[in-house]
Amino acid sequence: ESFGNARTVRNDNSSRFGKFIEIQFTSSGKLVGATIDTYLLEKVRLVTQSPGERNYHIFYEILEGMPANELRHYFLAKTAGPEDFAMLSSSGVSDRRDGILDKDTYKSLRVAMETMKLSNDEITDIFSVACAILHASNLDFVEAGAQDHEACSLDPDNVHLAPVCHLLGINGEDLNEALCTLHIQAGGGDTVSKSLSKEKAEKGLEALVKTAYGALFQYLVQRINDSIAWKKAQDEEDENENENDATLYRDAPAATIGVLDIFGFESFQTNSFEQLCI
């Protein structure tokens, strides 16, 4: 819910992705595991929200619930709020109407991470990516020269540039090259480089934010599946290492129940391709 749900005009905890859950049972009806497949995470929400809606819960939970000493690790001030980040301040709202506090759901998120057996290093990396995306939403570009509107670069004086690079493990020159220059490989193997305009570089930054968050979300789904899916016990693997019949294993799934949970269609003033797919 933290990474995939958001406040919409109709629902304060709306699931912004579809999911198929397969629940696994033994022949006697004992629940032994489950797997989750997800579909069509609404990534456009990361860069724009309709009036009265929020971005994904996780960003508000970090700002409201994370202790000050941890916030410093991600280059965030204790006084920082949603109004300080472009990706959280465009819709005019930052709270929930259902009475649930982001600082409380942050605590529940940390318990859930521990329950899913995520290591401390994994948790740190997950928050590093999320906070890097927060900082990245405040990056801006400057035109290369007064006469050249088809070339730009990342603003080197932007205070969010260094945190983005540190949290993602990249350097500023490489990030600037990736966002501000287009490389085209010709048929003969030659590479032609072309500078991008400020507008195109901004679109590239939006694409980076959406792609990074989408990859983070899929990683979380994979790790949850690793934790909840049925696995053969090691002693059973040793006893039956030459056998392929699942019935030889104790508590092996013999039947499943599939549950498809789709999300509601949101009709915005301007609908994206994602909305068409939904």
Read off the tokens for 36.
């989750």
Element (H, E) at 103: helix 102-115
Sign of CA dihedral 74, 80, 84, 90: positive
Residue 179 pLDDT = 96
Order of strands across the sheet that contains 255-261: 31-39, 18-25, 255-261
User: Tens digits of per-residue pLDDT, 141-159?
Assistant: 998 865 656 899 999 999 9
List phi, psi (to 5°) of 66: -75, 135
Angle at 9 between CA 131 and CA 65, to 5 degrees: 30
From the number of C-beta atoms within 10 Å of its C-beta (0-12, 13-18, 19+), residue 177 rates as middle
User: Tens digits of per-residue pLDDT, 3-53?
Assistant: 999 999 888 999 999 999 999 999 999 999 999 999 989 999 999 998 999
Q: What is the pLDDT confidence band of residue 244, given thresholds at 50, 70 and 90?
A: low
List phi, psi (to 5°) of 124: -60, -45
User: Tens digits of per-residue pLDDT, 39-57?
Assistant: 989 999 999 998 999 999 9
Element (H, E) at 104: helix 102-115
Q: Can you give the pTM of this predicted structure? A: 0.87
Q: How far apart are CA 196 and CA 179, in angstroms?
A: 8
* Residues near 90 by beta carbon (within 8 Å), at least 6 away in sequence: 48, 49
Read off the tokens for 189.
């193997």
Q: What is the pLDDT confidence band of residue 273, given thresholds at 50, 70 and 90?
A: confident
CA dihedral 174, 175, 181, 185 (to 10 degrees): 60
Between the alpha carbon of residue 48 and those of residues 137, 163, 227, 252, 260, the distances in Å are 11, 22, 33, 45, 27
Between the alpha carbon of residue 23 and those of residues 138, 250, 253, 255, 258, the distances in Å are 42, 17, 9, 8, 6
Q: How far apart are CA 148 and CA 90, in angstroms?
A: 30
Beta bridge mates, 181 = 195
